[in-house]
Amino acid sequence: MAHKTNAVRLLDQLKIAYELREYEVDTEDLAAETVAAKIGFPPAQVFKTLLARGDRNGLCMAVIPGNAELDLKALAAATGDRKIQLVPVKELQGLTGYIRGGVTALAGKKTYPVFVDETIELFDVISISAGIRGMQILLAPGDYIKGTKAVVAPLTQPK
């Protein structure tokens, strides 16, 4: 059985129902689309977590569908920043405690404001990283929003 990550422990504490889904990791291909295919989910239902830094309000997490691109202007509008940019991959672990392919807004090293794309509300269940590569958490969007205290906003641009 999979070991419990901090993200999973947090869900247990909050008494939030979830299912864990493990998959084979290919370090050359950590794309959300690939993970989606491995767990048998449409990419739009597998949400990836990006760390961004705004010029006024600092760090935040943007959670968007695996097949979408983050619209930085939309994120800045949601956070109240003038300018916002993604944090370089090399800084991820130091800031979140997680590595690329395993970043989650649940139970990170620090708590950052979380903004989640409005399409999350289209699904009964979504998949997010469990905080390590090779494991996804499936849960209800409302529970994810509650667990991360996320703000729902339009964050993506059509590809």
**DSSP code at position 46:** B
pLDDT band at 157 (very low <50, low <70, confident <90, very high): confident
Strand, helix or coil for residue 25: coil
**DSSP code at position 79:** H
Name the fold adopted by 6-157: YbaK protein (3.90.960)
For residue 147, which of 5, 8, 3, 2 has the smallest C-alpha distance? 8
Q: What is the mean pLDDT of the chain?
A: 95
User: What is the tens place of the pLDDT at every residue in 21-53?
Assistant: 999 999 999 999 999 999 999 999 999 999 999
The predicted model gives 68-73 an average pLDDT of: 96
- Is pLDDT at 1 greater than 70 in this prediction? no
